Homo-oligomer: A and B are copies of this chain.
């Protein structure tokens, strides 16, 4: 072992390769069969390891799901937050929501499970989701403040609380969608945000949502 580079070592390399193989196989199985129908033994067999090996690398089946899909969600979040196209607050909020809805729409078999796991995650995944929610919340607050600078919303409006309201609407729309109660989560989000913003406009510029 030299002082410059921490040599990976055959053992570490093997372990990382095994872990990656399991993860890739798991992603495939989950997206094909859904969460409940996916079989840990089958994933292990396809990845060329014993059943026990899967649970050596991941705490349990749900942990495997999180590990397999969290990266994608993080990438979606990073991209959505990076969006800097101009527009009204409503338009920018719309695009933010639409990016996340697209993430779920891409995985129809898994979206119900994904949403459930996102909302009701246990540690350590709970902390990671909270962190990501905080990042998006921060973005919403930033968009709100930018709109305030443009005179789009009132000076005394509570930006942080608006961010919370946004998440309420976002999650409610998602739940309604996965439960089949509403065909278009984006449309529902737009309407709710529009009604909420009614009272947050400058006094001179009030427009009501019907």
Seen from chain A, the residues whose Cβ lies within 8 Å of a Cβ on chain B are 112, 115-116, 119-120, 126, 130, 154, 156-158, 161-162, 164-165, 167-169, 171-172, 175, 178-179, 181, 188, 191-192, 195-201, 203, 206, 208-210
Copy number in this complex?
2
Q: Which of A175, A181, A188 has the most CB of B within 10 A?
A: A175
Besides the known contacts A119-B119, A161-B209, 15 further A-B residue pairs in the complex with CB atoms under 8 A apart? A115-B120, A116-B116, A116-B119, A119-B175, A119-B179, A158-B195, A162-B195, A165-B192, A165-B195, A172-B172, A195-B196, A195-B200, A196-B199, A199-B209, A203-B206
In the assembly, what is the distance between CA of A126 and CA of B180, in Å?
10
Of chain B, the residue at the smallest CB distance from A119 is: B175
Neighbouring B residues of A175 by C-beta, 8 Å = 119-120, 171
A168-B168, A179-B126 in contact; A197/B199 too (CB < 8 A)?
yes
Closest to A126 in B: B179
CB A84 to nearest CB in B, in angstroms, measures: 27
Q: Contacts of A115 on B, CB cut-off 8 Å?
A: 120
Closest to A154 in B: B208
Q: How far is the CB of A210 from chain B (nearest CB, A)?
A: 6
Q: How far is the CA of A165 from the CA of B199 in the complex (A)?
A: 14
Chain B CB count within 10 A is highest, among A168, A195, A206, for: A168
Of all A-B residue pairs in the complex, the 7 with the closest CB atoms, nearest first, are: A198-B199, A199-B199, A168-B172, A168-B168, A168-B169, A116-B120, A196-B196
Give the complex CA separation of A175 and B165 in angstroms. 13
Please indicate the chain B residues that have their CB under 8 angstroms from the CB of A154 in the complex: 208
Residues of B within 8 A of A198 (CB): 198-200
Closest to A192 in B: B165
22 contacts between A and B (CB under 8 A): A119-B175, A126-B179, A130-B181, A154-B208, A161-B191, A161-B209, A164-B172, A164-B188, A165-B169, A165-B192, A165-B196, A168-B168, A171-B171, A171-B175, A196-B196, A198-B199, A198-B200, A199-B199, A199-B201, A199-B209, A203-B206, A206-B206
